[in-house]
Chain A
Amino acid sequence: MILDSKIPEGALAEKWDKHKFNVKLVNPANKRKYDIIVVGTGLAGASAAATLGELGYNVKAFCFQDSPRRAHSIAAQGGINAAKNYQNDGDSIFRLFYDTIKGGDYRAREANVYRLAQVSVNIIDQCVAQGVPFAREYGGLLANRSFGGAQVSRTFYARGQTGQQLLLGAYSALNRQIAYGKVKMYPRTEMLDLVMVDGKARGIVVRNLITGKIESHSAHAVVLATGGYGNVFFLSTNAMGSNATAAWRAHKKGALFANPCFTQIHPTCIPVSGEYQSKLTLMSESLRNDGRVWVPKTVEIAQRLRKGEITVNDIKEEDRDYYLERKYPAFGNLVPRDVASRNAKLMCDEGRGVGASGLAVYLDFADAIRREGQPAIAAKYGNLFDMYAKITDENPYEKPMRIYPAVHYTMGGLWVDYNLMTNIPGLYATGECNFSDHGANRLGASALMQGLADGYFVIPYTIGDYLAQTPYDKVSTDHPAFKEAEQNVKATTDRLLSIKGNRTVDDFHKALGLLMWDYCGMARNAEGLQFAKQEIRKLRDEFWQNVKVTGVNEELNQTLEKAHRVADFLELGELMVDDALNRNESCGGHFREEYQTPENEALRDDENYAYVAAWEFTGVGNEPILHKEELKFENVKLTQRSYK
Chain B
Amino acid sequence: MAGSNPNAKPMDLTLKIWRQKDRNTAGQLVTYTLKNISPDMSFLEMLDVLNEELLVRGEEPVAFDHDCREGICGMCSLFINGRAHGPERGTTTCQLHMRHFNHGDTITIEPWRAAAFPVHKDLIVDRSAFDRIQQAGGYVSVNTGGVPDANEIPIPKTIADKAFDAATCIGCGACVAACKNASAMLFVSAKVSQLAMLPQGKVEAKTRVENMVAQMDVEGFGACSNTGACAAECPVGISLDNIAMLNREYLGAKASSENV
Contacts and interface: CB of A to CB of B under 8 A. Distances in A.
Interface of A: 47, 50-51, 54, 65-70, 72, 74-75, 84, 86, 122, 124-142, 158-159, 161, 163-165, 168, 171-173, 175-176, 178-179, 185, 187, 210, 239-241, 270-274, 276-279, 281-282, 308, 355-357, 360, 387, 390-394, 456-457, 460, 504, 506-507, 548, 550-551, 555-556, 558-559
Contacts of A164: 72, 168, 170
A54 B75 CA distance: 28
A47 B145 CA distance: 12
Given A175-B138, A387-B71, A550-B58, A276 B49 contact: yes
B221 interface: no
Given A390-B95, A559-B55, A66 B65 contact: yes
B66 A240 contact: yes
A273 B40 contact: yes
Interface string B18-44: 000110000000000000001011101
A279 B76 CA distance: 15
Contact of B45 (A159, A276, A393): A276
A417 to B, nearest CB: 22
Given A72-B73, A550-B59, A141 B154 contact: yes
A122 B142 CA distance: 14
A550 B147 CA distance: 52
Residue of B65, B68, B157 with most chain A CB atoms under a 10 A cut-off: B68
Contact of B60 (A47, A69, A126, A551): A551
Q: Which are the 9 A-B pairs with shortest beta-carbon distances?
A: A140-B154, A172-B139, A273-B2, A129-B147, A356-B1, A133-B164, A128-B150, A239-B67, A51-B144
B61 A550 contact: yes
Contacts of B65: 66
A273 to B, nearest CB: 4
Interface of B is mostly: loop
Interface string B47-61: 011001001101111
Given A129-B140, A356-B1, A460-B144, A142 B74 contact: no
Interface of B: 1-6, 21-22, 38, 40-42, 44-45, 48-49, 52, 55-56, 58-61, 63, 65-75, 91, 95, 97, 99, 120-121, 124, 126-128, 130-131, 134-136, 138-145, 147-151, 153-157, 160-161, 163-164, 167-168, 170-171, 194-195, 198, 200-201
Nearest to A137: B157
A564 to B, nearest CB: 16
A61 to B, nearest CB: 12
A272 B42 CA distance: 12
Given A556-B22, A556-B63, A456 B72 contact: no
B67 to A, nearest CB: 4
Contact of A142 (B4, B136, B151): B151
B2 A391 contact: yes
Contacts of A54: 143-144
A122 B145 contact: yes
Contacts of B40: 273-274, 393
Given A130-B142, A140-B156, A506-B48, A67 B121 contact: no
Contact of B48 (A132, A176, A276, A281): A276
Contacts of A75: 68, 70, 72-73
Contacts of B72: 74-75, 161, 163-164
A271 B3 CA distance: 12
25 contacts: A51-B143, A54-B143, A67-B171, A74-B72, A84-B150, A86-B151, A125-B147, A128-B150, A128-B153, A129-B200, A131-B140, A131-B194, A132-B167, A140-B155, A187-B128, A239-B69, A239-B73, A273-B1, A276-B38, A276-B45, A355-B1, A387-B70, A394-B2, A555-B22, A558-B63
A165 B156 CA distance: 18
A392 B143 CA distance: 44
Given A133-B167, A393-B99, A172 B2 contact: no
Contacts of A51: 143-144
Contacts of B143: 51, 54
A169 to B, nearest CB: 9
A550 B55 contact: yes
B132 to A, nearest CB: 9
A87 to B, nearest CB: 12
Nearest to A124: B150
B2 A559 contact: no
Given A75-B70, A158-B164, A387-B95, 14 more contacts: A67-B131, A72-B68, A130-B142, A134-B160, A142-B151, A165-B164, A175-B134, A176-B135, A187-B131, A273-B1, A360-B1, A394-B2, A506-B52, A558-B63
A556 B66 CA distance: 14
B212 to A, nearest CB: 11
Given A67-B131, A133-B194, A171-B134, A176 B150 contact: no
Given A50-B144, A70-B75, A271-B2, A136 B120 contact: no
B139 A175 contact: yes
Contacts of B2: 270-271, 273-274, 391-394
Contact of B160 (A47, A69, A133): A133
Contact of A178 (B63, B135, B154): B135
Contacts of B44: 278
A556 B124 contact: yes
Contacts of B156: 136, 140
Contacts of A72: 67-68, 73
Contacts of A134: 150, 160
Contacts of A277: 45
A66 B144 contact: no
A390 B135 contact: no
Contacts of A137: 157
Residue of A69, A165, A282, A308 with most chain B CB atoms under a 10 A cut-off: A69
Nearest to A357: B1
A159 B164 contact: yes
A639 B48 CA distance: 48
Given A276-B38, A276-B49, A277-B45, A210 B120 contact: yes
Contact of B42 (A278, A357, A360, A456): A278
Nearest to A273: B2
Nearest to B142: A129
A550 B3 CA distance: 35
A548 B74 contact: no
B194 to A, nearest CB: 7
Given A210-B120, A274-B40, A125 B3 contact: no
Contacts of B5: 393
B69 A130 contact: no
Contacts of B144: 47, 50-51, 54, 126, 173, 456-457, 460
Contacts of A69: 74, 131, 171
B1 A271 contact: yes
Residue of B59, B61, B91 with most chain A CB atoms under a 10 A cut-off: B61
B41 A276 contact: yes
B70 A142 contact: no
A392 B139 CA distance: 37
B182 to A, nearest CB: 18
Given A142-B150, A165-B167, A136 B75 contact: no
Contacts of B147: 125-126, 128-129
Given A133-B160, A392-B3, A393-B99, A281 B67 contact: no
Nearest to B153: A128
B50 to A, nearest CB: 11
A136 B155 contact: yes
A321 to B, nearest CB: 21
A74 B94 CA distance: 15
Residue of B21, B48, B142 with most chain A CB atoms under a 10 A cut-off: B142
A240 B94 CA distance: 11
Contact of B151 (A130, A132, A141, A282): A141
A390 B121 CA distance: 29
B128 A67 contact: yes
A139 B70 CA distance: 33
